[in-house]
A and B are shown apart, each in its own frame.
Chain A
Amino acid sequence: MNYFPSLAALVALIASPAAAEELKKLPEQLDPSKAYVLVELGALDGSKVPGELVLARYDTEGGDVLGHGRSAVELDKKALRAVHEAARKGMIKDNDRRTRLHLLELEPDLYVVEAANGTSFALGSRTFRADAGQVTDLGVFDVATDWDDGEGAAKIGAGDILKMALLGSFGMPKTEPRPTFITVRERAAGDISLPPMLAGKLEVVSWESDDATFGNHLGGLINRLGGRAARNEQPAVKADAPQIMAAPITPTE
């Protein structure tokens, strides 16, 4: 009997990610073995529906989310789920602007902005490296519906409400489902004030690529991160662009 593990099992063992999580409050101390990602996320279309963001570990060689589809890395079911991490709740809320500040504690790796509010950015998204002991600031993300020209949210009148009451979902106004897109900008005055603990520890993100593609592993609608407006744009960030290495966090006693 062969007691040596197969190469695939070894790769899976090495690549098996530990749990990542969205922090609900600031930790007393940042773990130098973890990577931290900070992002301020606006509500969907500025409405009361909070923005949701999913980041996933990215396999550049396979051109897919780690362990999924074209990626040659083999992971078990639990590890496959842990490859994706969502920002949902937020740590600090700005009720007037309907934005939330999220802090994610992740395994150090290359990440892709995988999805927002049910839309997977499989047609072209941004990747960035989250290194151990760093707090990477992704900036401010605004999530909006990517309407076609002349389209907009369905206007519901009294007749529609009556129809819905009588026919349920059959009476709903017929609209085509539309994906979402994200507008990314750097943090500026007027955004949520950062906790003093993070002062001096933030490193502004250095995007490695803005045209990373992958499979539709979350099963929702698909789009480019920048939406239809970004369709004909040439990638602005090349994957082989020189990267600015940020200073690591020094653990405090």
Chain B
Amino acid sequence: MKFRKAAIGAVLVWGLASTPALAGPYYFHKPGVEREAYVEDVTLCRELSDMGESKRTSTPYTPNLYAVAAASLLSGFMNSRNQRNHEQAIERICMADKGYARVSIDKSEFKKIRKLKNDDDRMEALFTVAAAPDAIGEELPE
């Protein structure tokens, strides 16, 4: 039960992710995939991507305090963006390896699923689109 709860959390966060860098939300689609297999795949890929560490940009030395503050803020944003992109790259490679296609999803459909309050309902809605015979959006590059 504990595993299932954790896995559902993983599916909801990672199985249907919005990527600013890649313009638009997407999900992973594999026709006819079993629910258990889907949860297992997403959980494993999430574990691997969570362990990812992108290269951090360093802040150059300057005696000017304002410049230090500005540079730190900027490098903080950069590092955060790089880390997010790095984790998503790992997740996409992993899911592709498991036989999933990355498919774009309509923003309204994406929001509709995310708005569902109950974990089981969200899981059901997500799994339905992931395992459907046909993808609901355009297939994206890995």
- Which B102-142 residues have C-beta < 8 A from chain A? 141-142
CB distance from A8 to the nearest CB of B (A): 23
CB distance from A234 to the nearest CB of B (A): 14
Q: B52: CB under 8 A from chain A?
A: yes
B52:A219 contact, CB within 8 angstroms: yes
Stretch of B8-16, B25-33, B63-71, B89-97 on the interface side = B89-97
CB distance from B132 to the nearest CB of A (A): 22
Cα(A169)–Cα(B86), bound, Å: 16
- B97 proximity list for chain A (CB < 8 A): 123, 223-224, 228, 231
A221:B142 contact, CB within 8 angstroms: no
- In the complex, residue of chain A having the shortest beta-carbon distance to the beta carbon of B78: A169
Q: A61: CB under 8 A from chain B?
A: no
Q: A122: CB under 8 A from chain B?
A: yes
- In the complex, residue of chain A having the shortest beta-carbon distance to the beta carbon of B51: A216
CB distance from A32 to the nearest CB of B (A): 37
Q: A248: CB under 8 A from chain B?
A: no
CB distance from B128 to the nearest CB of A (A): 26
Q: A217: CB under 8 A from chain B?
A: yes
- B73 proximity list for chain A (CB < 8 A): none
- In the complex, residue of chain B having the shortest beta-carbon distance to the beta carbon of A214: B48
Give the interface size class of chain A: 10 to 19
CB distance from A6 to the nearest CB of B (A): 26
CB distance from A120 to the nearest CB of B (A): 9
- Given A122-B48, A215-B51, A216-B51, residue A223 in contact with residue B93 (CB < 8 A): yes
- B78 proximity list for chain A (CB < 8 A): 169
- In the complex, residue of chain A having the shortest beta-carbon distance to the beta carbon of B22: A176
A177:B94 contact, CB within 8 angstroms: no
- B141 proximity list for chain A (CB < 8 A): 148, 176
Can you list, as one digit per residue, whether each of A165-177 has a CB less than 8 Å from chain B (1) or not (0)? 0000100000011
A216:B48 contact, CB within 8 angstroms: yes
Q: A50: CB under 8 A from chain B?
A: no
A217:B89 contact, CB within 8 angstroms: no
B94:A123 contact, CB within 8 angstroms: yes
- B96 proximity list for chain A (CB < 8 A): 228, 231
Can you list, as one digit per residue, whether each of B48-78 has a CB less than 8 Å from chain A (1) or not (0)? 1101110001000000000000000000001
CB distance from B59 to the nearest CB of A (A): 14
Can you list, as one digit per residue, whether each of A115-157 has a CB less than 8 Å from chain B (1) or not (0)? 0000000110000000000000000000000001000000000
- In the complex, residue of chain A having the shortest beta-carbon distance to the beta carbon of B97: A123
CB distance from A46 to the nearest CB of B (A): 23
A221:B51 contact, CB within 8 angstroms: no
Cα(A186)–Cα(B142), bound, Å: 32
> Of B48, B57, B99, which one neighbours A222 at CB under 8 angstroms?
B48
With A228-B97, A231-B96 given, name 12 new contacts (CB 8 A): A123-B93, A123-B97, A177-B89, A179-B93, A216-B51, A216-B52, A219-B53, A221-B52, A221-B86, A222-B93, A224-B97, A228-B96
Chain B positions near chain A (C-beta within 8 angstroms): 47-49, 51-53, 57, 78, 85-86, 89-90, 93-94, 96-97, 99, 141-142
Q: Can you offer 30 A-B residue contacts whose CB atoms are under 8 A?
A: A122-B48, A123-B94, A123-B97, A148-B142, A169-B57, A169-B78, A176-B89, A176-B141, A177-B85, A177-B89, A179-B93, A215-B47, A215-B48, A215-B51, A216-B48, A216-B51, A216-B90, A217-B51, A219-B52, A220-B53, A221-B86, A221-B89, A221-B93, A222-B90, A222-B94, A223-B97, A224-B97, A228-B96, A228-B97, A231-B96
